[in-house]
Amino acid sequence: MKVTEQIDAIEASAINPYRLLAATRILACILIMPLLTVAADASGLLTGWFAQTLVEPISFHQFIESGFHGATFNAFLPPTFKTAVYGLIIGLIACYEGMRTRGGAEGVGRAATNSVVLASLFVILTDVVLVKFILVFFP
Cβ partners under 8 Å of residue 105, min gap 6: 3
- pTM reported for the whole predicted model: 0.79
Q: Are 123 and 90 in contact (CB under 8 A)?
A: yes
Diameter of the chain measured on Cα atoms:
66
Map out the domains of the chain as residue ranges.
6-137
Cβ partners under 8 Å of residue 118, min gap 6: 93, 97
List, for residues 67-125, the tens digit of each pLDDT value.
888 888 878 888 888 999 999 999 999 988 888 887 777 888 888 899 999 999 999 99
Supply the pLDDT for residue 76. Answer: 83
List, for residues 23-37, the tens digit of each pLDDT value.
899 999 999 999 999
